[in-house]
């Protein structure tokens, strides 16, 4: 019986962690891309990510365009970077965006 309760408690904690509630507001964060630091703006409304924008970067436009187009909507949909895949051919830029979003969200907790 204790094992069942322990498993249930861990499952409940994991479910709560997956849908983290953030403080409402606008937050900026930075992460290292291939060519430069990437700065994002994350808007949080009702405890969830409402919007993510890349506001500053020095990456090659052709390279960073795909991660911006595909990853930012996924980050909003998943309420974070967990489970968001990097874009092939733009891995370092993708990782920079993820790091920047994590940095911004660390300020929203």
pLDDT in tens, 64-104: 999 999 999 999 999 999 999 999 999 999 999 999 999 99
SS3 category, 50: strand
pTM of the model: 0.82
pLDDT in tens, 94-107: 999 999 999 999 99
pLDDT in tens, 5-44: 444 444 444 544 455 799 999 999 999 999 999 999 999 9
22 token code pair: 């953030």
All domains of the chain in start order, with CATH: 22-106 (3.90.1010.20)
102 token code pair: 């994590």
């Amino acid at each position: 019986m204790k094992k069942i309760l322990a498993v249930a408690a861990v499952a409940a904690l994991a479910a709560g962690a997956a849908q983290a509630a953030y403080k409402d507001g606008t937050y900026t964060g930075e992460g290292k891309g291939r060519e430069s630091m990437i700065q994002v703006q994350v808007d949080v409304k009702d405890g969830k990510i409402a919007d993510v924008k890349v506001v500053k970067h020095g990456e090659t436009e052709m390279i960073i365009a795909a991660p911006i187009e595909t990853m930012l909507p996924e980050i909003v949909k998943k309420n974070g970077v967990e489970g968001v895949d990097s874009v092939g051919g733009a891995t370092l830029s993708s990782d920079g965006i993820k790091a920047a979003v994590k940095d911004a969200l660390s300020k929203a907790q």
